Amino acid sequence: MSYRYKIATIFLLGFFIDCINIFMSAIALPDIAQVFSTSQSMVAWVANSYILGLVLIMPISLWLAGRFGNQKLLCFSMLLFSISALLCGLSYSIYSLIFWRFIQGISGGLLIPVGQALVFALFPNKERHRISTMIMTVALIAPAFSPALGGMIIDSLSWRWVFYANLPFSLLAAALAWLWINNSERQRREKPDVFGLLLVTVSLLLLLLSFSLYNDYHNLSLAIGSLFFSAIIFAFYIKYAQKCAAPILNFQLLRNSNLRNAFIVYYAVPGVFTGVNLLNIFNLQTNLHFNAGQTGMFMLLYAAGALVSMVSGGYLYHHIGKKRLFFIGILLHSIGIALLFTVSSRTDLIQLVIAYLLMGAGGGIAANTAQISSLLDFSGKDLLQGSVLWNINRQVAFSVGTVVLISIFSLVSAQSDLLRYQYTFFIAAILSLLSLIFILREKSA
């Protein structure tokens, strides 16, 4: 195997680990909530803390690679990932699990940007479509099969083995990184804006905490206070970034309509779906009495819908344009969510199947179109800054979508728990549709 394909193998393995780690663990959340006697809002931090770790480390990962070398950084990051995965499985309180998930996010966030930079350098120009195809394949296969696999692991063993299952892959990635990556010399790279990164991370943390403070402790004053300080810190960062020569996140780029609309679509579609999916995992297992394995199988339907849309997405983009694609994707996605409103028993299987197929098809169209168009107008330094901003936003959208939908669920009043889920799904469908207000205002392109 040539050197560049060895590097591609390491990166794709790490990317696969990251994907299955996010989607497989989601199936375990009802069992984790039951074992630790905690709420949906609190157990959502098992995912949120992982994403916070990614957000904190990703912008400085390339600088760390230059300082310590690619070989050492990638090997040690996968070793740390393995240790944290083991300790996640051994956790005997929700707080220790959340902490080790945060460490897992930090270690996982080191491999993706550094590995991608190495691979893209080895597959330049016209050859890059080869690795891009491999990345998209992993991005589709991992979310499709990991929930079903995770469900079977939980039904056969326990939720702890969802985290232990990461160990063979992460240890293999660590070994391959040590054996295959050239021991490169340290490279001098521009020191990242650590202060700006801390401001953004604290602002995001306070934003997510504001929802938890209300949902878990029903303390409106603390929730509003946390939200207020989040906004103040973010506003301070915006002022600070305008004077900074190399801000960690350049929000000025959002003046570009392509990037701005892609941001909106990602919150309205993948973000909303993440919250809907988490709530429906609880709903399917608690109210409709599906087991974890059966619940995970529904993501296969989502992936099937997404596969069709992704295969045709590039062709349709150039023939009917992104505005129409956004409209079609958001509409299909919203109809799929709205169908969940009609599901009240296990016998409503046809509605569930159609709902996940539509959410997958619509989500695939919208997300793929956002991915294609987001950085279309950028080059040079703006492209690098835009790439960082876009990839951070993708992760944040998942957390924000989750906490917002859980908050809506906690506010909904109904005669039964099942009706609360149904009303929440109906509201989620409307929220997704509201993004069309911004999309349709744009001039056709």
Domain ranges, residue 72 = 1-191
The end-to-end CA distance of the chain, in Å, is 44
Which of 191, 206, 231 lies at the terminal end of a domain, its last residue? Answer: 191
Phi-psi region of 215 (alpha: psi -120 to 50; beta: other; left: phi over 0): alpha
pLDDT band at 445 (very low <50, low <70, confident <90, very high): very low
> Is the confidence at residue 185, as pLDDT, over 70?
no
Residue with tokens 């016209």: 126
Neighbouring residues of 313: CB distance < 8 A, sequence distance ≥ 6:
325, 364, 365, 368, 369, 372
> Is the confidence at residue 217, as pLDDT, over 80?
no
What distance in Å separates the CA atoms of residue 262 and residue 394, rounded to the nearest whole number?
10
Q: How many domains does the chain have?
A: 3
Examine the domain organization and report whether 184 and 201 are in the same domain: no
Examine the domain organization and report whether 279 and 230 are in the same domain: no
How far is C-alpha 56 from the geometric centre of its chain's CA atoms?
Answer: 14
- By the 8 A CB rule, do 21 and 108 touch? yes
Neighbouring residues of 381: CB distance < 8 A, sequence distance ≥ 6:
none
Q: Which of 414-418, 429-433, 438-442 has the lowest mean pLDDT?
A: 438-442
Examine the domain organization and report whether 171 and 208 are in the same domain: no
CB count in 10 Å sphere of residue 245: 6
Which of 146, 165, 191 lies at the terminal end of a domain, its last residue? Answer: 191
Examine the domain organization and report whether 428 and 295 are in the same domain: yes
- By the 8 A CB rule, do 263 and 394 touch? no
Examine the domain organization and report whether 253 and 315 are in the same domain: yes
Examine the domain organization and report whether 265 and 237 are in the same domain: no
> Is the confidence at residue 435, as pLDDT, over 70?
yes
Examine the domain organization and report whether 359 and 255 are in the same domain: yes
Q: Where are the beta strands (DSSP E) in 199-301?
A: none
* Positive or negative torsion for Cα 408, 412, 417, 419: negative
Look up the pTM and report it.
0.83
CA count, 13 A, side-chain hemisphere, 223: 12
